[in-house]
Amino acid sequence: MATSSRSASTPGWPVSGAQSRPPAAQGAGGWTWALTAPLLVFLAIAFLGPVLLMLARAVSDAELPSAWPQTAQLLRDWDGNGPPDDRLAAALGTEILAARRAGTLNRVANRLNYDLVGSRSLVYATGDALERGASVRGFADLARIDRRWINPAVWTAMRHAAGPRTSFYLLASVDRRLDGDGRIVQVEREQAVFVDILLRTFLISAVVALLCALLGYPVAYLLATLPSRWANPLLILVLLPFWTSALVRTTAWVVLLQTHGVLNEALIGMGLIETPLALIYNRLGVYIAMTHVLLPFLVLPLYGVMKGISAAEMRAATSLGAGPLTVFLRIYLPQTLPGLLAGMIIVFTLALGYYITPALVGGGADQMVSGSIAFYTNQSLNWGMAAALSLLLLVPLTLMLFAGRYLTKSVPV
Amino acid sequence: MLSTSSDPDCPLVEFVGVEKVYDGGRPAVANLDLAVRKGEFLTLLGPSGSGKTTTLMMLAGFEAPTGGDIRLGGRSIAGTPPHRRNMGVVFQSYALFPHMTVGQNIKFPLDVRGIRGLEAEARLAEVLALVHLEGLADRRPDQLSGGQRQRVALARALIFRPDIVLMDEPLGALDRQLRERLQSEIKQIQHRIGATVVYVTHDQTEALTMSDRIAVFSGGLVQQVDTPQNIYDRPANAFVAGFIGENNGIPGVVTARGEATCEIRIAGDLVVQATPVGSIAPGDAVLATVRPEHVLTEIGGDIPCNRFSAAIEELVYHGDHSRIRAILPGGATLTMRAPGRAALSQSQPLTVSWCADRCLAFPAEPALAEAAE
C-beta pairs of A221-230 under 8 Å, 24+ apart in sequence = A221/A306, A223/A299, A223/A303, A223/A306, A224/A303, A224/A306, A224/A307, A224/A309, A225/A306
Q: Which of A128-132, B132-136, B229-233 is least confident?
A: A128-132
Three-state DSSP at B49 gives: coil
**Fold topology of A194-409:** MetI-like fold (1.10.3720)
Whether residue A9 has pLDDT greater than 80: no
Whether residue B192 has pLDDT greater than 60: yes
Q: What would be the CATH architecture of the domain defined by B13-238?
A: 3-Layer(aba) Sandwich (3.40)
| Same fold flag, B13-238 and B246-372 | no
Instruction: Using pLDDT thresholds of 50, 70 and 90, give the confidence band for residue B313.
Output: confident
Complex confidence, ipTM: 0.81
Kindly list the residues from chain B whose CB atom is less than 8 angstroms away from the CB atom of residue A331.
Answer: 97
Q: What is the mean pLDDT of residues B38-45?
A: 95
End-to-end alpha-carbon separation of chain B, Å? 35
Kindly list the residues from chain A whose CB atom is less than 8 angstroms away from the CB atom of residue B98.
Answer: 335, 412
Chain-chain contact of B83 with A334 (C-beta, under 8 angstroms): no
Closest Cα in chain A to B113:
A321
Residue pairs spanning A and B at CB distance below 8 A: 103
Q: What would be the CATH architecture of the domain defined by B246-372?
A: Beta Barrel (2.40)
Q: What is the pLDDT of residue B231?
A: 94
Instruction: Using pLDDT thresholds of 50, 70 and 90, give the confidence band for residue A3.
Output: very low
Q: Select the more confidently predicted residue: A89 or A320.
A: A320
Query: Where do runs of H (alpha helix) occur along A270-412?
Result: 283-307, 311-319, 324-326, 333-352, 356-361, 369-374, 383-409
Over residues B166-175, the pLDDT tens digits come to 999 999 888 8
Task: Nearest by CB to A312, from B88, B91, B242: name it.
Answer: B91
Residues in CB range of A59: below 8 A, 6 or more apart: A165, A166, A167, A169, A170
Gyration radius of chain A over CA positions: 31
Q: What is the pLDDT of residue A216?
A: 95
* Gap from B80 CA to chain A (nearest CA, Å): 12
Its pTM stands at 0.75
Q: What is the mean pLDDT of residues A198-217?
A: 95
Q: What is the mean pLDDT of residues B318-345?
A: 82
Task: Determine contact, residues B182/B149, Cβ cutoff 8 Å.
Answer: no
Kindly list the residues from chain A whose CB atom is less than 8 angstroms away from the CB atom of residue B85.
Answer: 319
According to DSSP, the residues that pair with B361 across neighbouring strands are: B276, B288
Task: Nearest by CB to A322, from B62, B83, B142: name it.
Answer: B83
Instruction: Give the distance from CA A139 to its chain's centroid.
Output: 46
CA distance B354 to B217: 29
Q: Which of A21-35, A320-334, B135-149 is least confident?
A: A21-35
Task: Determine contact, residues B156/B108, Cβ cutoff 8 Å.
Answer: yes
Closest Cα in chain B to A323:
B83
Closest Cα in chain A to B250:
A1
Q: What is the mean pLDDT of residues B273-300?
A: 85
Q: Where are the domains of chain A?
A: 63-166, 194-409
Kindly list the residues from chain B whose CB atom is less than 8 angstroms away from the CB atom of residue A319.
Answer: 60-62, 82-83, 85, 87-89, 157, 166
Q: Where are the domains of chain B?
A: 13-238, 246-372
CA distance A211 to A191: 33
Q: What is the pLDDT of residue B342?
A: 59
Task: Nearest by CB to A335, from B98, B160, B248: name it.
Answer: B98
Over residues B335-364, the pLDDT tens digits come to 988 876 656 777 777 888 888 888 999 998
Q: What is the pLDDT of residue B368?
A: 45
Kindly list the residues from chain B whose CB atom is less than 8 angstroms away from the CB atom of residue A2.
Answer: 246-248, 292, 325, 333, 335, 372
Instruction: Using pLDDT thresholds of 50, 70 and 90, give the confidence band for residue B9.
Output: low
Chain-chain contact of B86 with A312 (C-beta, under 8 angstroms): no
Task: Nearest by CB to A3, from B86, B242, B333: name it.
Answer: B242
* Gap from B68 CA to chain A (nearest CA, Å): 22
Chain-chain contact of A313 with B97 (C-beta, under 8 angstroms): yes
* Gap from B18 CA to chain A (nearest CA, Å): 21
Residues in CB range of A289: below 8 A, 6 or more apart: A249, A250, A253, A357, A360, A361
Percentage of the residues of chain A whose pLDDT score is greater than 90: 28
Q: What is the pLDDT of residue A412?
A: 43
Instruction: Using pLDDT thresholds of 50, 70 and 90, give the confidence band for residue B304.
Output: low
Kindly list the residues from chain B whose CB atom is less than 8 angstroms away from the CB atom of residue A334.
Answer: 99
pLDDT averaged over chain B? 88
Kindly list the residues from chain A whose CB atom is less than 8 angstroms away from the CB atom of residue B242.
Answer: 3
Over residues A306-325, the pLDDT tens digits come to 998 988 999 999 999 999 99
